[in-house]
């Protein structure tokens, strides 16, 4: 197949920042892209070959879009899977496959999958709705505290809540959910795996994640994670296993907990480029986006090693500001060596909205960490 | 000035591969861009915010385009300078300035500038046309051999010829020209300088260039140049001086000769991103394109150091092939660690047309050099 400067067309469902960063690589390789997104202001509306506005959950919209492309991928899991299945049955290559996506989209199914495949994960129970969960809690069949997770449509901290008392259950939505045992952990880690249809597979180094205490969004991603080499090896091995068991094609971001006694438990996966891999644009030999593209096109995978240490700081909208965005002190951070801001192209900011990220690279990870704090203190995403 | 996700508009004259690679960084920073190019198939037609088709040498076209933007730059020197001057007088920021461009566009003036400013360069004489040059050659006032250069519109090996005998003058165009003394040299080097309006200035490391013997186009660019550190320091100091003397804003690529006795002579300059800096996308902390953008927007300049060694191989159309392009063996080179192809997005190939480039990065420059040869042997730009 000739992808480069040819009539070949790649379709991308979703036109957010992940799609936008993927487009940097389709432009580099001159691969034609069609993008579908509900918003006419989607960050990916620029730099694709054709932009289509439409609902990603609507069968006809996704099906009709997919009929025009040769390979179809997505940058968000919340897409109409039935349309993907029909497209696949009609010969469109869909990567990751709808079958994999089905196993991931529902967190209950995803957890069952880990158990069935002997992949270490925190113990869980599935419930068809909140009512059923409440009954079990009352009967003490589920003991407090635990982590409640909505089975579907959770994203960026929505759909996850620590339940410490019965009253914490009151304001939760009455949807399919899971209750997960709370496991004390030292670190939240992630490993990005890339795998192509031939079965060639590679992992990126283990990264360490720090979450913002209120917004439950990642605040720093540190590559490589400052953990014991043996723990890192274990994490990479588990991530490889997860990708292979899912028969996954493309990127799979595997989020994990490192427990107090250095066990690795898989938390959840994302079948797409992931926030925990953004550092790779500046730090890695091959960015996660380029490797996603290579994988879904069944091209040889690129080197996932790092050239230098990388730290990523998310730029989220400051509390108390809504409206046309201003990046306060961006010139100050640009003056620091090894600092690269990525601005996603959303004109309107609002509290905790993901507006961009900043990558800090340095040969010395300790220096990078100090600079990351400096960057974090300086820059603010506010409104005019 | 707020450039990021704002109403600010950057205009770019020329929509070729240099513009295309610059757009990767305007997208990263979400800076709005307008592009003007004569071809409706220009590589930059995608990823800008608005594309305009028109003649870059036409006063009205350039003037009307420029009136719509806040800052204007160019990726090719062959633009209507009068229009730039009028725009500048009316408050549009034009970087590099039309004044600098005037001093560079005419190679006779450029050479005189070096002499006036005590910048080392090979001795030259200027002629208003070929007829005048012939008279001087006949009178032995210019001695053979020498290098003939067209004063204007030379590009990529056109407009340059080594004249070894009187008969070599026969097929040259009757245009303003210079005759330059042939200086035996060991190496062709280049240093890219970046300078912003505040006067902040940085140089990239010295690179070594190897030319294709027939096409007179650069075949390999090697960073860092494998030369003595003292020679490299001298080359960087001279390049800094050239940029400052021109009062240049933006990127200035300074091409130089290293003579047999380790003198540095300035050959010529290009006031824009340059083929000799493409390696910087993968190898440098800040690519030449990002630094051009930072410079013309008067932002702090990025670190010009390298993370790893980089070698660039140009992808030019193979002799004997014209028509819809095919990149033979591109999958084979993608399988090699540290290899990144850049495909410019030209659908039609023809002999020696610049179709793309490949960057090879490695911690070890000797390994990178070996891989570059392997890449060069494998990949061929042919037609269907």
Instruction: Please give the distance of CA B205 from its chain centroid, rounded to a whole number.
Output: 16
Asked whether the predicted pLDDT for residue B10 surpasses 90, the reply is yes
pLDDT, tens only, B49-67:
999 999 999 999 999 999 9
Helix (H, G, I), strand (E, B) or coil at A154: coil
CB contact under 8 A, A5 and B325: yes
Domain spans, chain B = 9-94, 123-181, 185-383
DSSP state of B76: S
CB contact under 8 A, A307 and B307: yes
* Angstroms from B112 CA to nearest CA on chain A: 36
CB distance A346 to A293 below 8 Å: no
The band of B36, judged by pLDDT with boundaries at 50, 70 and 90, is very high
pLDDT score, position B215: 62
Does A46 touch chain B if contact means CB atoms closer than 8 Å?
yes
Task: Give me the percent of chain A exceeding a pLDDT of 90.
Answer: 91
pLDDT, tens only, B313-353:
999 999 999 999 999 999 999 999 999 999 999 999 999 89
CB contact under 8 A, B5 and A347: yes
Conformation bin of residue B192: beta by default, left when phi > 0, alpha when psi is -120 to 50: beta
Asked whether the predicted pLDDT for residue A198 surpasses 80, the reply is yes
- Residues with Cβ within 8 Å of B206's Cβ and at least 6 positions away in sequence, in order, are B189, B190, B191, B224, B225, B227, B231, B232, B235, B236
The band of A23, judged by pLDDT with boundaries at 50, 70 and 90, is very high
pLDDT, tens only, B229-252:
999 999 999 999 999 999 999 999
Greater model confidence, A166 or B196: B196
The band of A210, judged by pLDDT with boundaries at 50, 70 and 90, is confident
Q: Which two tokens stand for residue A5?
A: 């400067």
Asked whether the predicted pLDDT for residue A216 surpasses 70, the reply is no
Residue A328: count of CB within 10 angstroms of its CB: 14
Annotation: CATH topology of A9-94:
Rossmann fold (3.40.50)
Identify the H or E element spanning A253. strand A250-259
CA distances from A247 to A19, A197, A252 (A): 23, 9, 11
* Angstroms from B76 CA to nearest CA on chain A: 20
The band of A219, judged by pLDDT with boundaries at 50, 70 and 90, is confident
pLDDT score, position A159: 86
Asked whether the predicted pLDDT for residue A171 surpasses 90, the reply is no
Q: Minimum mean pLDDT among A70-74, A217-221, A263-267: which range?
A: A217-221
CA atoms within 13 A on the CB side of B184: 2
Q: Which two tokens stand for residue B142?
A: 């210019």
The band of A154, judged by pLDDT with boundaries at 50, 70 and 90, is low
Q: Which of A194, A374, A359 is nearest to A272 (CA)?
A: A194
What average pLDDT score do residues B276-296 get?
98
- Best probe of the A interface among B298, B304, B307, by most A CBs < 10 A, is B307
pLDDT score, position A157: 58
Secondary structure of B309-368 in HEC code, one letter for each residue? EEEEEEEEECCCCCEEEEEECHHHHHCCCCEEEEECCCCEECCCCEEEEEEEEECCHHHH
Q: Which two tokens stand for residue A207?
A: 């990264």
pLDDT, tens only, A87-145:
999 999 999 999 999 999 999 999 999 999 999 999 999 999 999 999 999 988 899 99
What average pLDDT score do residues B256-273 get?
96
pLDDT, tens only, B178-193:
999 999 998 999 999 9
The two beta strands, B32-37 and B9-13, are parallel
Asked whether the predicted pLDDT for residue B76 surpasses 90, the reply is yes
Residue A140: count of CB within 10 angstroms of its CB: 8
d(CA B13, CA B16): 9
Mean residue pLDDT across chain B: 95
Identify the H or E element spanning A10. strand A9-13
Residues of B with Cβ-Cβ distance to A330 under 8 angstroms: 4
d(CA A354, CA B384): 44
d(CA B43, CA B41): 6
Q: Which of B49, B299, B346 minimises the CB distance to A46?
A: B49
Q: Minimum mean pLDDT among A89-93, A158-162, A221-225, B242-246: which range?
A: A158-162
Mean residue pLDDT across chain A: 95
Asked whether the predicted pLDDT for residue A169 surpasses 80, the reply is yes
The band of A283, judged by pLDDT with boundaries at 50, 70 and 90, is very high
Give this complex's ipTM. 0.95
d(CA A183, CA A197): 35
Q: Which residue of B has its CA nearest to A280?
A: B282
Q: Which of B97, B305, B267 is nearest to B188 (CA)?
A: B267
B75 annotated binding-site participant: no
Residues of B with Cβ-Cβ distance to A342 under 8 angstroms: 28-29
Conformation bin of residue B250: beta by default, left when phi > 0, alpha when psi is -120 to 50: left
- CA torsion through residues B236, B238, B244, B248, sign: negative
Task: Give me the percent of chain B exceeding a pLDDT of 90.
Answer: 91
The band of A152, judged by pLDDT with boundaries at 50, 70 and 90, is confident
Q: Directed axis angle between helix A288-296 and helix A17-28, to 10°?
A: 70
pLDDT score, position B157: 58
Does B294 touch chain A if contact means CB atoms closer than 8 Å?
yes
d(CA A110, CA B78): 59
Q: Which of B27, B303, B346 minimises the CB distance to A338?
A: B303
Asked whether the predicted pLDDT for residue B371 surpasses 90, the reply is yes
pLDDT score, position B155: 56
What average pLDDT score do residues B194-202 get?
97
- CA torsion through residues B213, B216, B221, B225, sign: positive
Residues of B with Cβ-Cβ distance to A331 under 8 angstroms: 299-300
Helix (H, G, I), strand (E, B) or coil at A37: strand
Q: Which residue of A has its CA nearest to B2?
A: A326
d(CA A201, CA A298): 11
Q: Is A320 exposed, middle or buried (0-12, 13-18, 19+ CB in 10 A)?
A: exposed
B188 annotated binding-site participant: yes
What average pLDDT score do residues A265-292 get?
97
The band of B159, judged by pLDDT with boundaries at 50, 70 and 90, is confident
Residue range A185-383 forms a domain whose CATH class is: alpha beta
pLDDT, tens only, B112-144:
999 999 999 999 999 999 999 999 999 888 999
B183 annotated binding-site participant: yes
CB contact under 8 A, B340 and A28: yes
CB pairs < 8 Å spanning A and B: 109
Cis amide prior to A224 (ω within 30 degrees): yes
Contacting A residues, span 325-384, partner chain B, CB-CB under 8 Å: 325-327, 330-331, 334-335, 337-338, 340-347, 361
Q: Would the CATH topology of A9-94 be identical to that of A185-383?
A: no
Q: Which residue has the tokens 């179809």?
A: A72
* Angstroms from B303 CA to nearest CA on chain A: 5
pLDDT, tens only, A310-341:
999 999 999 999 999 999 999 999 999 999 99
Helix (H, G, I), strand (E, B) or coil at B75: coil
- In degrees, rounded to 5, the angle at the alpha carbon of residue B123 between the alpha carbons of residues B119 and B124 is 110
Cis amide prior to A96 (ω within 30 degrees): yes
CATH code, residues B123-181 = 3.30.1490.20
């Amino acid at each position: 197949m000739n992808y480069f400067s040819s009539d070949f067309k790649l379709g991308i469902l979703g036109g957010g920042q992940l799609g936008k960063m993927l487009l940097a690589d389709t432009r580099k390789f001159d691969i034609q892209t069609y993008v579908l997104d509900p918003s006419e202001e989607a960050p990916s509306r620029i730099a694709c070959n054709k932009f289509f506005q439409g609902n990603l959950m609507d069968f006809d919209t996704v099906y009709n879009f997919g009929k025009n492309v040769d390979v179809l991928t997505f940058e968000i899991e919340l897409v109409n899977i039935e349309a993907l299945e029909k497209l696949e049955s009609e010969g469109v290559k869909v990567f990751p496959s709808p079958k994999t996506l089905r196993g991931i989209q529902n967190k209950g199914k995803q957890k069952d999958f880990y158990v069935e495949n002997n992949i270490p994960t925190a113990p869980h129970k599935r419930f068809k709705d909140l009512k059923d969960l409440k009954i079990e809690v009352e009967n003490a069949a589920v003991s407090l505290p635990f982590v409640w997770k909505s089975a579907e449509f959770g994203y960026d901290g929505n759909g996850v809540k620590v339940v410490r008392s019965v009253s914490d259950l009151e304001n939760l939505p009455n949807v399919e959910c899971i209750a997960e045992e709370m496991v004390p952990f030292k670190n939240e880690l992630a490993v990005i795996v890339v795998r192509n249809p031939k079965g060639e597979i590679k992992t990126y180094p283990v990264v360490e994640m720090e979450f913002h205490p209120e917004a439950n969004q990642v605040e720093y991603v540190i590559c490589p994670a400052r953990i014991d080499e043996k723990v890192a090896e274990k994490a990479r091995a588990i991530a490889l296993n997860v990708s292979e068991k899912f028969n996954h094609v493309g990127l799979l971001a595997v989020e994990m907990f490192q427990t107090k006694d250095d066990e690795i438990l898989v938390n959840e996966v994302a079948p797409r480029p992931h926030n925990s891999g953004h550092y790779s644009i500046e730090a890695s030999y091959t960015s996660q986006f380029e490797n996603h593209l290579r994988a879904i096109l069944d091209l040889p995978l690129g080197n996932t090693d790092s050239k230098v240490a990388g730290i990523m700081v998310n730029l989220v909208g400051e509390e108390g500001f809504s409206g046309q965005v201003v990046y306060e002190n961006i010139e100050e951070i640009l003056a620091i060596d090894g600092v690269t801001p990525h601005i996603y192209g959303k004109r309107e900011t609002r509290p905790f909205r993901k507006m961009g990220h900043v990558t800090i690279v340095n040969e010395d990870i300790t220096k990078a960490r100090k600079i990351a704090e400096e960057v974090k203190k300086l820059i603010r995403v506010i409104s005019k």
